[in-house]
Amino acid sequence: MGNPLGVHALVWTGGWAPEDAELAISSTAKAGFDLIEIPALDPSRIDIADTKQRLDAHGLKAGFSLGLTFETDINSEDPACVERGRATLMSALEVARGVGSSYLGGVLFGALAKYPAPVTDRARANSASVIKELAQEAARDDIVVGLEFVNRYESNLLNTVQQTLDYMDVVDEANVVVHADVYHMNIEENGFRKPLLLCGDRLGYVHIGESNRGYLGQGTIDFDEVFEALADVDYTGPMTFESFSSAVVDPQLSNTLAVWRNLWSDSMDLATHARAFISDGMQRARDTRGQRAQ
Ligand code: MN
């Protein structure tokens, strides 16, 4: 039994007009993936019926992800700002629900941006209270809410697994999971094994990305350690490949993520390589584990 494997839409295109959606969805299916992750930073940009029809036609599932902005930051002391963020998250949830997706994740808990100051208790409490409400609303359609902790330059609230688990204890909703991204873990954690074991069955979604966000295996991330830890916690959830290059640009997301360089130009070669890399790596890790158990 393997993990459902996915790819982020920005490997294919930065837009979501019908022709972009068709390119991204058909290419994801052609590369052999089970799901596509569609960015929903602006949920109003996504045509729900059109997206659902194309996913069904290609037999693919979708997950949705977004990060908030300083205008819509729920990790804020300003009630108006928190309310705008709540509205954005609820619209994103509507999109996920409409398309029939069972996953909404990302930097849902605050702005995806470099904060000018540390988090405050009141801002954190505002964030947790909105996420609790979002999770309760999502639970009505069995939608899982994933908290993607990110590096210090992209959030001041959740940078590590431990912080994410502590925050989840405050939110206290069963459909909230850890969304671990090894690119961010590589910056903030002491390693991969310990924090992934710490997640245990609270881990619900994994982003696989290289240290420079390019081809897997060409950077410094110890993927054997990552895959072996995931095998050891019997992780059977989605693993989605994330990679960004200036070759494919989303005006909102690319600049936020500081995608300035061209790390690849052939999306299909990149994606098929990544799929095999993840699938083979997980198989190897499970075999190693099986041999140890004998
Ligand atoms: Mn990620």
Check residue 1 and give its pLDDT: 62
> What is the span of the domain harbouring residue 208?
5-293
**Helices and strands (H and E) in the chain: how many:** 10, 8
C-alpha–C-alpha distance, residues 274 and 241, integer Å: 7
Check residue 252 and give its pLDDT: 86
**Number of independent structural domains in the chain:** 1
**C-beta of residue 86 within 8 angstroms of C-beta of residue 130:** yes
Place of tokens 């081809």: 215
CA of 206 to the centre of ligand 1 (A): 8
Q: Whole-number mean pLDDT of the chain?
A: 97
CA of 291 to the centre of ligand 1 (A): 32
Q: Give the CA distances from residue 201 to residues 165, 179, 235, in Å, rounded to whole numbers and listed in that order.
A: 11, 12, 8
CA of 247 to the centre of ligand 1 (A): 18
Catalytic residues: 148, 242
Per-residue pLDDT tens digits for 176-197: 999 999 999 999 999 999 999 9
Q: Which residues surround ligand 1, an ion (CB under 5 A)?
A: 181, 207, 242
CA of 181 to the centre of ligand 1 (A): 5
Check residue 293 and give its pLDDT: 79
C-alpha–C-alpha distance, residues 12 and 30, integer Å: 12
Which CATH number do you get for residue 34?
Answer: 3.20.20.150
Which residues in the chain land under pLDDT 50? none
Check residue 57 and give its pLDDT: 98
CA of 148 to the centre of ligand 1 (A): 7
Q: Kindly report the pTM of this predicted structure.
A: 0.97
